[in-house]
Amino acid sequence: KAQVECPPDSAALGRSTWTFLHTMAAYYPRQPSEQQRHDMSSLLDKFSRFYPCGHCAEHLQAEMEVDPPRVDSRHELSQWMCETHNKVNEMLGKKIFDCTKVDERWRDGPADGSCD
C-alpha cells in the first residue's frame, strides 16, 4: 500500500513553525539596519494574520498588541520569541522554557558537542 502523507494538524504545524521562528530569530542580525527592523516587524505582523490556525492567529495578534515584537537586535528578538512561545506553553499547560537556553537550543547546540 502506498504511504500517504497527511496534512499537518495544529500540533505538527506548531512544531514546524516554532522551529522556523526561533531559527530565524537566532540568525537575525546582531545589529539590524533600520530597513531590517522594519522588515522583521512587517514579516511578523503579516505572519500573524495568515497563520493557518484561526484561534492561534487570533491569540498571537492579541499578544502582539500588548507586547510587540522586539526587533532591535538578535538577542532581543530571540528573547521576545521565547517569551511569546512561553505564553502559548502556559496557556496549553506545557513546560515553561528557560529563555537563557535559546541560543543553545536553536543555534549553537549543547557545549558537549553532541549535536555537531
**Is 92 a binder of ligand FAD (CB under 6 A)?**
yes
Q: Give whole-number Cα distances, 44 to 30, 51, 67, 99, 101, in Å.
A: 18, 10, 13, 20, 22
CB atoms within 10 A of CB 14: 17
**Is 46 a binder of ligand FAD (CB under 6 A)?**
no
Burial of 27 (0-12, 13-18, 19+ CB in 10 A): exposed
Q: Helix, strand or coil for residue 115?
A: coil
**Is 86 a binder of ligand FAD (CB under 6 A)?**
yes
Q: Which of 18, 41, 64, 107 binds ligand FAD (CB under 6 A)?
A: 18
- Grid cell listed for 30: 546582531
**Is 17 a binder of ligand FAD (CB under 6 A)?**
yes
Q: Which of 7, 55, 65, 100 binds ligand FAD (CB under 6 A)?
A: 55
Among residues 74 and 105, whose Cβ is nearest to ligand FAD? 105
In whole angstroms, the minimum distance from the beta carbon of 29 to ligand FAD comes to: 19
Q: Which of 8, 26, 89, 107 binds ligand FAD (CB under 6 A)?
A: 89
Give just the sign of the alpha carbon dihedral 45, 60, 78, 76.
positive
Q: Helix, strand or coil for residue 92?
A: helix
Given the rule CB under 6 A, which residues bind ligand FAD?
A: 10-11, 14-15, 17-18, 22, 51, 55-56, 59-60, 82, 85-86, 88-89, 92, 94, 97, 102, 105
